[in-house]
Structure 1
Amino acid sequence: MVLRAFAHFTSRMGRLLAPVFVVLSLVAVAVPADAQSFRFNSFDVQGNFRTNDASVLQVAGIEPGSTVTAGQVNDALQRLQNSGLFETVEVAPRGNTLVITVVEYPTINRIAIEGNRRLDDDELLVLLESTPRRVFSPITAERDAAAIAEAYRVTGRLTATATPQIIRRDENRVDLVFVVSEGSVVETQRIAFVGNRDYSDRRLRQVLESTQAGLFHALIRSDTFIEDRIALDRQLLTDFYQDRGYIDFAIQSVTPELSRDRGAYFVTFNIREGQSYRIGNLSVVSELPGANAADFQNIINIRQGVRYSPRVIDNVITRMENLASDQGLRFVRVEPRLVRDDANLVVNVEFVISRGERVFVERIDIEGNQTTLDRVIRRQFDVVEGDPMDARQIRAAAERIRATGFFADVQVEGRQGTTPEQVIVDVDVEEQPTGSLGFSASYSTDGGAGLAVNFAEENFLGRGQALAVGFNTTSGSQSLNFSFTEPAFLRRDLALGVSAYYAMSNDDDSDAESTTYGVGTSLGFPVSENSRLRLFYNYDHDEITGYDTDDSLILRNEAESADTSRVGFTYSFDNRDTGLNPNAGVFLAFTGEYAGLGGDTEFLRARVRAQAETRIMREEVTLRATFEGGAITALDDGTRASNRFSLNSRQLRGFESGGTGPRDTGAANDNALGGNYFAVARFETAFPLGLPEEYGISGGAFFDVGSVWGLDDTMGSSGTVDDDFYLRSTVGLSVFWDTALGPLRFNFSHPLEYQDYDRTRNFDFTVEARF
């Protein structure tokens, strides 16, 4: 080791002192007439195999026959050393000949990465500039090592290092090896806020993309500190406050501090909340001939007293611009002028309609999409080449592109076109994986243990199409499903879907087994800002086998295969993300269908679902109310059990699935029959329990009430079946626990109203894990 250290020292000292020796040697052999100048008539280049003599002399920069000084010769030496072509360089004058001796850098034989476990070789090799069969460069190798360390840094491993090493081979070749020390993940130990009065740290942490370390931080990596998330967190926090009327909100600083052991970060947001303002007077002023202010005043869909939000104001401006377009007005600008009333904490808004600049879209340039087709991105724009330039529509298009989920980063900017009246819109995207293969295990007291395998691709072949295939099995059922959706059928906002499924399940009350399979197609389109209409057609086949004399006579009479051909529609309304109140929203869905276009059954069936939710107590507590109801009317001999309604344990907690409704008590197996009508209402709340957040435990309470009733055939195994309306209700408490396996929910129920033959349940839990 001493010899190696000495050899290394002498080698480095030799390279450092080489220029000095050259100068001294040049001085020693200088001609007497001028001790500092030389004239070389010839050059002798030695040791070069890949680089020809002319290239070496060109880098040296000394012309034959010209007079040069010792300093110029030294400069030539420095140029050769800095060229990156040679490992060592020596120059020595011999009379009128300058001898240049070089040792070329070796060729890279192969590149290997060692010590990496978290990132695969394929992920790291694409980052390297060095390539096999190219000349080895120490500078390039150092850049490659830095690139590897950066790849680990963005995953939260800030202490990761990569060291380039070479292994000498014959024929002046080397193996380049990067030895990686991955280090440990640096997690976000704590996220704190300074300056928040109206919202707790707990509520604000729910807004951020970053999360702090939880109870299972050793298994869950969502709390890994990633510096790039800070910018997104700032924007999310700003949007949160501005949507609630805090027009003066500002993030004064964000301070990530590394712990002493460099194993965790403490992130502190220093904010200024300000006051929350509400919207006051709303008025419209028209400075544009042909634009009637009253027409624009009538389409304002917000009222006085709601929380001020830039998003709400933008929505009104969009409505006004659309009205102007419908009226044939072009280059219209709608500018909101805000007048603050600090005494009453309101903002009066005056919308001024004026003539905007005459600027047109020359073209839309798209870059960075390696997989996604251009047309998938272009259809997010409401403007095309030649249309008037509308900055608001461009920003809206950028948001829609981001909302597709196809891209990790989206940048949309405008620049001047070939004339001052034209603008070129540049769209720069960075693609990200859009496919997923999921394996999940589940357990519930209702269905037992289960396993599911799901494949989904949201951007199939880069066309923006969605493809999904899934398989699910539990102790008593198996299912297989397939679906495909084209979201822009005929290049319109028409979602065309096709699907197929197969399902098999066992009756819990008997040995009967039901098999169902079918295909379907649908077409969906928007009918308003927050609503859509979906038209569908399905063809199903079902059959039930295995009923015996212990089962209900009603079910035995219905136990025959049947084909069902049905057509229908679903109207849905959802303003939970786009409504005026960021803390509240409503979801409504109504489905109506007719069966009888062929097949063996004929009926009308309708179903409605409505849900409303809000947050109270500084948004710490969530309140939710859900109503569901349905009815089926047979147009032939009667309804079948496969088409009737029944309530599962999630629709009506406190009862078994199928544990309520008409029942043939005269049958030995006490079979559930289902009903032609059902209605259920669920009221629930979720709230913190005061436990440390890293435990991931919160609480809830619920009250459910509902019923299933009505049959066409009431002649059971031993007489009449009671199918009257009987109200069932239950009250209970819930415990929610976010674990490493997935979200775990415990329900403790106590039925309040029920029939003697109902099947109740006092406890159930579900857990799902994806890996």
Structure 2
Amino acid sequence: MTMRRAELRAAGRKAAARWARLAGLALAAGCVSGAVWAQASFGQIDVRGNQRIETSTVLTYAGIEPGSPVTAGQINAAKQRLLASGLFESVEVTPARGTLIIEVQEFPTINRISIEGNRRLNDEVLEGLVTSQPRRVYSPSTATADARAIADAYFQAGRLAATVTPKIIVRDQNRVDLVFEVTEAAVVEVERIGFVGNRSFSDRRLRQALGTKQAGIFRQIIRRDTFLEDRVQFDRQVLTDFYRSRGFVDFEVLSVTPEFSRERDAFFLTFNIREGQRFELGEISVTTDVPDLDVAAFERVVRARTGQTYSPTRIEDTVARLEREAIELGLDFIRADPVITRNDRELTLDVAFNLTRGPRILVERIDIEGNSTTLDRVIRRQFRVVEGDPFNPREIRDSAERIRALGYFANSDVTTREGTAPDRVIVDVNVEEQPTGSLTLGGSYSLDEGFGFAIGLSERNFLGRGQFLNVSIAAGIDNNNSSLTLAEPSLLGRDLNGSVSIYYRSTDSFNADFNTDELGFRPTLGFPVSDNGRLELNYRLSRDTISDVQSGDPTILGDNGSSAIIQREEGRLVTSSIGYNYSYNSARTGLDPNTRYRFEFGQNFGGVGGDTQFVETLALAGYETKVMNEDVGLSATVRGAALNFTEGNSRVIDRYRGRNYARGFTANGIGPRDLTATNQDALGGNYAVGVAFEADFPVGLPEEYGIRGGVFYDIGSIWGLDDTAGTGGEVDDDFHLRQVIGATIFWTTPIGPLRFDFTRALEKEDYDDERTFDFRVSTRF
């Protein structure tokens, strides 16, 4: 038994040794095989499956030369390059007995491309977004990108839920039809805009400031109620500017939360804001550390005053004034740095404008690129600096804003870079031009003028010179008005505005028993005389005709002749006059967003040749403001006019008529009248005065309807004639005040602003032609 066990153990040891030798041989064989695959060469490369693509093209993408040693990694890289070419749907690379087999399956070619399911956006628009092309190789990644581009177009149109699916229809000869299936979905509108945290201004007032609007009754025409994220981001900045211009220096938009409605067809926008406190200007001072600099000379140009509402615009205006004063005094490189000290107890901000001498950096040159039509000088004149002037970053920023404000360019970038020396700066201006011409078609209607149409052609950048050209023709049932105007905003390269107008106006028994015909030529020249004031000089040469006056004796019963005064005035006269007009408008600087006042005064002197000699004086003063947290607007206007003929008499075509001096009457409803004439002809007056007070306010309707209410009170008169002979003493040209009260409905619509006036005359003459209701509509396309 013991011997048997010993024999078995010896046999086991021999078997184990034999298996060990076999395992070693197998391991050695595996190592040899791995060494061979780690690097091999193939004497032949066999390309299979290609139909349209040449074998040489496949080998080029593979990048493997016959007979060259390659590794498994290089073979895998060759496969990836072939797949990345976009030519093949699948690629297999297989080594077999000295031959490398590359088997490919080509992508099909596109037979045709179609878009289905689109109704809101036409094929031409969408096809311009598709980069896939017929008779080219179909690429799934390209088709997916095209579908995304189409979906983005619908997103910009407010159809956020629109989907686009690319599909292929297999045809013969390895071709496919590429079809983009569109599901448009409904427009996702902004149904409601709300605010959290606003105490000083109502939701209604803040919504007026935003570019995004709530969906209203004209939602199919107005597209500002469509949810666009870019517009919402813009509204954040608009809201910030709104508050900070009104003294809320700590204002912040904490978040904007868009919420989908349950039906996923509308958005609810909520602006979460923090207003902070309203600050006023405290102590205003000018300081300096520049030796021999007279601070008193700079203090005189500061317009900011203690107690005014703080506004970044007011501070920027003061900085500009101080730096401009330094240049006028011959002091270069002077900078005005506002140092603001906050007083939370008094809610004031003390501002010290510290005058310092900045780095001595000069403008080396101004390079302009991107303008193919606009002349360089049009862009260059927006800069207040030229080559060799001291470099002022604020002035460069202002110049960039002026270039953008021209409206000639879709994009404009103004940047600076170091010049040929550390103390030199090059200003780069890169612009992208956009169309500046427009064709206007329109219609109008009023109770006085009836229906009318208008056609106009305008070009804001005529011949690339920055000039304004406008041709307009407007005609009604019995009147027309045509004009041609060419304006140069920078005459002789200076801040001079020159224009030339040729006009033709005519009426055919327009609210009168006679016709008129006026053909004129009017050049003007305007220039600033202060920050808010401008002076305009003008000349007028016109040929004015009164014709088709009904003849006869109006004092005889049954005779339908016109007034003897108008009969004497029939005929043609040439008017040649020179004049001036001064205007002051606080809105030109825009330092106060809630208050605006303006003043105009001008005179025209006839007799520089021609057939008439006269002096005409015109004056106007107006004031507008907003109260009750800017929800209510108030305005007051006073206007007056006087026409004095030094030789001869005025004519009805020269005298003042119309409703500019008192609403609630027809075009010739008030003023001197010949009571002996059958039609009691309105004659117009040499003198006119009018005072108007008006208030507009919300009426409780959602502001997206665009409807506001208003009330007004007018008082005015037109009076005075030169000669009343031949009328039997029945001409009333005395001074009679008219008083009118009224209520108004203002309606802002996509076709233009509408105004509905309901009036009642508190004081009038028996012969006045009153109108208790009036409205006007005008639209442009």
| Partner Cα distance (1:266, 1:101) in 2 | 56
SS of 1:730's equivalent in the other structure is strand
Partners of 1:612 and 1:626 within 8 A in 2:
yes
Tell me, yes or no, if structure 1 residue 673 matches structure 2 residue 683: yes
| Partner Cα distance (2:170, 2:370) in 1 | 40
Tell me, yes or no, if structure 1 residue 624 matches structure 2 residue 626: no
| Partner Cα distance (1:288, 1:217) in 2 | 60
After superposition, the Cα gap between the structure-2 partners of 1:716 and 1:165, relative to the gap in structure 1 and judged at 3 Å, is: farther
- Cα deviation code 1:477-513 (max 9, x no counterpart): 1222222222223332222222222222133555422
- Cα deviation code 1:295-339 (max 9, x no counterpart): 111111122111111111111111110110111111111111111
Match of residue 63 from structure 1: 65
Gaps spanning 5+ residues in structure 1: where?
1-29
| Partner Cα distance (2:597, 2:108) in 1 | 69
| Partner Cα distance (2:220, 2:299) in 1 | 57
Structure-to-structure mapping, 1:520-559, within 5 angstroms: 520-548=522-550, 549=552, 550-559=561-570
Distance apart, 1:108 and its partner CA: 5.9
Select which of 199, 202, 205 maps to 2:204: 202
CA RMSD of aligned residues (A): 2.8
After superposition, the Cα gap between the structure-2 partners of 1:738 and 1:576, relative to the gap in structure 1 and judged at 3 Å, is: same
Match of residue 322 from structure 2: 320
Structure-to-structure mapping, 1:92-491, within 5 angstroms: 92-105=94-107, 113=115, 115-119=117-121, 123-130=125-132, 135-165=137-167, 178-369=180-371, 371-491=373-493
| Partner Cα distance (1:214, 1:404) in 2 | 32
Tell me, yes or no, if structure 1 residue 704 matches structure 2 residue 680: no
Match of residue 598 from structure 1: 609
SS of 2:609's equivalent in the other structure is strand
- Cα deviation code 1:507-528 (max 9, x no counterpart): 3555422222223222222222
SS of 1:719's equivalent in the other structure is coil
Tell me, yes or no, if structure 1 residue 765 matches structure 2 residue 775: yes
Distance apart, 1:92 and its partner CA: 4.5
| Partner Cα distance (1:539, 1:77) in 2 | 85
- Cα deviation code 1:673-713 (max 9, x no counterpart): 11111111111010112223233321111011111111111
After superposition, the Cα gap between the structure-2 partners of 1:232 and 1:136, relative to the gap in structure 1 and judged at 3 Å, is: same
SS of 2:674's equivalent in the other structure is coil
Tell me, yes or no, if structure 1 residue 735 matches structure 2 residue 745: yes
Partners of 2:661 and 2:717 within 8 A in 1:
no
Match of residue 652 from structure 1: 662
Query: Percent same amino acid at aligned positions?
Result: 52
| Partner Cα distance (1:236, 1:484) in 2 | 35
Distance apart, 1:745 and its partner CA: 1.6
SS of 2:482's equivalent in the other structure is strand
Partners of 2:717 and 2:736 within 8 A in 1:
yes
| Partner Cα distance (1:512, 1:460) in 2 | 40
SS of 2:607's equivalent in the other structure is strand
After superposition, the Cα gap between the structure-2 partners of 1:327 and 1:577, relative to the gap in structure 1 and judged at 3 Å, is: closer
Distance apart, 1:409 and its partner CA: 4.2
Partners of 1:364 and 1:425 within 8 A in 2:
yes
After superposition, the Cα gap between the structure-2 partners of 1:763 and 1:368, relative to the gap in structure 1 and judged at 3 Å, is: same
After superposition, the Cα gap between the structure-2 partners of 1:380 and 1:170, relative to the gap in structure 1 and judged at 3 Å, is: farther
Select which of 570, 594, 608 maps to 2:581: 570
Structure ID, larger Rg: 2
Moved more, 750-759 or 105-114: 105-114
Partners of 1:526 and 1:533 within 8 A in 2:
yes
| Partner Cα distance (2:299, 2:584) in 1 | 25
After superposition, the Cα gap between the structure-2 partners of 1:136 and 1:590, relative to the gap in structure 1 and judged at 3 Å, is: farther
After superposition, the Cα gap between the structure-2 partners of 1:495 and 1:740, relative to the gap in structure 1 and judged at 3 Å, is: closer
Select which of 446, 469, 493 maps to 2:495: 493
After superposition, the Cα gap between the structure-2 partners of 1:133 and 1:555, relative to the gap in structure 1 and judged at 3 Å, is: farther
Moved more, 417-426 or 342-351: 417-426
Match of residue 698 from structure 2: 688
Distance apart, 1:222 and its partner CA: 2.6
Partners of 2:661 and 2:715 within 8 A in 1:
no
Distance apart, 1:199 and its partner CA: 0.6
Distance apart, 1:420 and its partner CA: 3.0
| Partner Cα distance (1:685, 1:409) in 2 | 40
| Partner Cα distance (1:91, 1:596) in 2 | 100
SS of 1:576's equivalent in the other structure is helix
| Partner Cα distance (2:387, 2:118) in 1 | 49
Partners of 1:31 and 1:38 within 8 A in 2:
no
| Partner Cα distance (1:169, 1:371) in 2 | 49
Distance apart, 1:82 and its partner CA: 1.4
Tell me, yes or no, if structure 1 residue 661 matches structure 2 residue 684: no
Moved more, 251-260 or 49-58: 49-58
Match of residue 641 from structure 1: 652
Distance apart, 1:359 and its partner CA: 2.1
Structure-to-structure mapping, 1:39-50, within 5 angstroms: 39-46=41-48
| Partner Cα distance (1:69, 1:478) in 2 | 88
Match of residue 713 from structure 1: 723
Match of residue 17 from structure 1: none
SS of 1:493's equivalent in the other structure is coil
After superposition, the Cα gap between the structure-2 partners of 1:519 and 1:118, relative to the gap in structure 1 and judged at 3 Å, is: farther
**Normalised by the size of structure 1, how large is the TM-score?**
0.89
Moved more, 705-714 or 222-231: 222-231
| Partner Cα distance (1:482, 1:666) in 2 | 41
SS of 1:567's equivalent in the other structure is strand
